[in-house]
Amino acid sequence: MRSTLRYIFAVTTLFPAALFFSCGEDASPISPGNSPPHTPYLPEPADSSEYTSENLTVSWECSDPDGDLLLYTVQVKESDDYVVFAGQTTLKTMDTGHGLLRETMYTWRVIANDGLELSESDWWTFFTPAWSNDPPYQPADPAPADGAVDIQITGVHLSWSAADPDEDDILTYDVYFGTDSNPEPVATGLTETSYALPSLDHDTVYFWRVVSTDSHDESTSSPVWTFTTRAQPGSLLSRISRLLGLTDDSAP
């Protein structure tokens, strides 16, 4: 009987201690493991390719085995020497805005980060050629049309069409206007293909032309265009025009 009591006492004394050690501060649930992101692949520009644009846009493919949201770091080296660009994005593409040098080797890579672990791509390489540039096409399609007559003296807008053979070029325009056959500049650096004129004089021949300038400071001028404003109401020419039904008396 005594031996039985000793056994019961031992069990009831040790059990709380065992329970304490199993539930104490050192015990923690086991978290499922994290898998690192897959290595970024399928670069664009492709490895060892030629890249012809003057500003760098890159893209790649990547995913995470756990479905984690990934943060990408893009690094670009010039001549495999030092990092000239570094940026971060959650997309799988980046317009770096970085202007590239001509005839230069660049290396770049992508680092994927899931918040816990990183995966780095290889360093990929691309080469830039010697840039070529063509000047803008000649401005055309003038309005008022070349040689137009009886143009009103208020609310006149000069307009034209313009284009450049190089798709990446941005054009600006200088407008030359006046009563001299070699008109003076009246507006420079316009980004729109139109220009509003101030009030004009009656019965006057005006001359104008447009110069298009591209991103490489190469320019092309239009021909000199002309138009003639309508005669002043009450003038002999105006009376003859009314008799012939060529003008509208209500127009300015």
Residue 200 C-beta-side C-alpha neighbours within 13 Å: 27
Amino acid at 99: G
- Structural domain boundaries in the chain: 41-127, 140-243
**φ, ψ for residue 126 (rounded to 5)?**
-145, 165
Identical fold for domains 41-127 and 140-243, yes or no, is yes
Taking alpha carbons only, the member of 165, 183, 167 closest to residue 175 is 183
Contact 153, 238 (CB under 8 A): no
Taking alpha carbons only, the member of 115, 114, 112, 92 closest to residue 43 is 92
Taking alpha carbons only, the member of 209, 224, 213, 222 closest to residue 191 is 213
pTM (2 d.p.): 0.52
Taking alpha carbons only, the member of 213, 34, 202 closest to residue 115 is 34
CA–CA gap between residue 5 and residue 225 (Å, rounded): 121
The token pair at 42 is: 């399928």
Q: List per-residue pLDDT tens for the chain, 252 residues long.
A: 444 434 433 434 433 443 333 334 444 344 468 999 999 999 999 999 999 988 999 999 999 999 999 999 999 999 988 999 999 999 999 999 999 998 999 999 999 999 999 999 999 999 999 878 899 999 999 999 999 999 999 999 999 999 999 877 899 999 999 999 999 999 999 999 999 999 999 999 999 999 999 988 999 999 999 999 999 876 655 556 656 766 554 444
**φ, ψ for residue 212 (rounded to 5)?**
-95, 135
Q: Decide which of 1.10.760.10, 3.90.700.10, 3.40.50.1820, 2.60.40.10 is the CATH code for 41-127.
A: 2.60.40.10
Q: Which CATH class, in words, describes the domain spanning 140-243?
A: mainly beta
